[in-house]
Amino acid sequence: MIPLRDANPSGRFPIVTIALIALCSLVYVYQASLGKELRGFFALFALVPGQITYGVQTGEAGIVEVAQPFLTSMFLHGGWIHLIGNMWFLWIFGDNVEDRLGSARFLFFYLASGIAAGALHYALDPTSAIPTVGASGAIAGVLAGYMVLFPGARVTALVPLGIILQLMELPAVVLIGLWFAIQIGSGLLSIGWTGGGVAWWAHVGGFVAGVLLVKALAPRRVMA
C-alpha cells in the first residue's frame, strides 16, 4: 500500500519532520560517497545484533558501543528506494503527529519508537550478523501515533488488488491497521529465515511502542 496524501491539515510548521527527512537524506549522500569504506561505516553505526552480543559477552563493548547502534542505525539506509519510501511515509504522516504532540515530544516519540524497534529486532535474533539499517521502525511508531490520534482521517492510497493498483480513500485506522497486519504476517512467515531482507519485527516493535507512547505523550484534550 502506497499512501499518496491525507485530508488532515496540520496547524504548525513540521520542523522536526522536515529536519529528520533532511538528516536522513544527508547521511545517505555521505554513505554513497564512502565507496568501499561503507562496510566499515555500517560496522560502526548499523545495528548488528551478533556484534553487540559478542561485545557484551567478551567485555569488549561498553555501554556506549552497545547503545549507539540502536540510535544511529535509524538514520542509515540501504539504497535510494529504501530512503525515499521511508521519507515519503514520514512526510505524509509525521506532520500531523508532530502537530498534536509538539515538536520536542514528537522528536522523543520518534527516537523512542525507533529504539524500541531495534530492541525487539535484537531480542528476537541476538546472533544475527546482518546489519540492520533504516528509519522504518521509528516511522512505524509514527503510523501508530497517527492511527491513534486520527483514526477517522481519510488517506488516499494505491492499494494492490491482485496485479492491479487501485486508488482508494480509506480511514487511517483501516489503512494503517492493514499495514500492521501485513507486518505481523510477514514476520511470522520470515521465522527461520536467516538471509537478509526486511526487519519485519522491528516494524512491529516500533508500532507497538508508538501506540503506547502516543497515549502517554498526547495532551488529553486533543486526543481523537
Catalytic residues: 136, 203
CB 23 within 8 A of CB 75: yes
What cell numbers appear for 188 in the block?
A: 511470522
C-alpha–C-alpha distance, residues 146 and 140, integer Å:
10
Angle between helices 136-149 and 172-189 (to 10 degrees): 140
Q: What are phi and psi of 14, to 5 degrees?
A: -80, 70
Amino acid, single-letter form, for residue 206:
G
Q: What is the three-class DSSP state of 6?
A: strand
Structural contact between residues 146 and 210, judged by C-beta atoms closer than 8 angstroms: no
Assign 3-class secondary structure to 115-173.
Answer: HHHHHHHHHHCCCCCCCECCCHHHHHHHHHHHHHHCCCCEEEEEEEECCEEEEEEEEHH
- Give the DSSP letter of residue 79: S
- Report helix angle 103-124 to 49-58, nearest 10: 80
